[in-house]
Chains A and B, each alone.
Chain A
Amino acid sequence: DTEVTQTPKHLVMGMTNKKSLKCEQHMGHRAMYWYKQKAKKPPELMFVYSYEKLSINESVPSRFSPECPNSSLLNLHLHALQPEDSALYLCASSQDYPRGGADTEAFFGQGTRLTVV
């Protein structure tokens, strides 16, 4: 199983709502990532978890709150978002972070298309 599963696939939320994005992998990977991608732009790294601990926060606003309940699951809690936060949110996983020596690939989910109204 080389799949990263993200739910929901689409989400529309109001600016006062609270919602969560979910990501799951069963490859035994110990590193998981959240990316944000706007239309026709490259994915932008938001957060990196390594062994269930937050390793990198790329200065993401606090209205985005990540959580890693266990090594297979990664959540992104959303609260008081703005319309400019509308984007494709991608989850990824890899064997480990950081890695020394030979690098390995990251596996990406299909993403959650978020629309903030």
Chain B
Amino acid sequence: LAKTTQPISMDSYEGQEVNITCSHNNIATNDYITWYQQFPSQGPRFIIQGYKTKVTNEVASLFIPADRKSSTLSLPRVSLSDTAVYYCLVGETGANNLFFGTGTRLTVIP
């Protein structure tokens, strides 16, 4: 399994762009990178997934450099409702992304 490392916590003011970086030095060739968001007492929710370069959807962007040893989740103009824990997962070849790392607790401040 490609182990992931994320900052334990981050604070940001409302309206700012937030970038959360995840390190995965041992990522395998066929691994994908997936990010989930979790609010207290709720199940995680899929945010975005990518393999290389840049992926963007309606809620976030995911930047993956050429060596794929890290990835950055970018949340544009965060609001208070973005306060949550964000998990980066990297999957084994042919398998789901099943194993959660420690996650990053994002707190958005008014």
The total of chain B residues at the interface (CB under 8 A) is 24
Whole-angstrom distance between the alpha carbons of A18 and B95 in the complex? 33
Contact-residue bracket for chain A: 20 to 34
Q: Are B96 and A88 in contact (CB under 8 A)?
A: no
Of residues B43, B87, B91, which shows the largest number of chain A Cβ atoms within 10 Å of its Cβ?
A: B43
- Note all chain A residues with C-beta closer than 8 A to B41: 88, 110-111, 113
Q: Are A99 and B43 in contact (CB under 8 A)?
A: no
Interface-facing stretch out of B18-26, B63-71, B100-108: B100-108
- Note all chain A residues with C-beta closer than 8 A to B98: 33, 45, 48, 56
Q: Give chain A's interface residues, CB within 8 Å of chain B.
A: 4, 31, 33, 42-45, 48, 56, 88, 90-92, 94, 97-111, 113
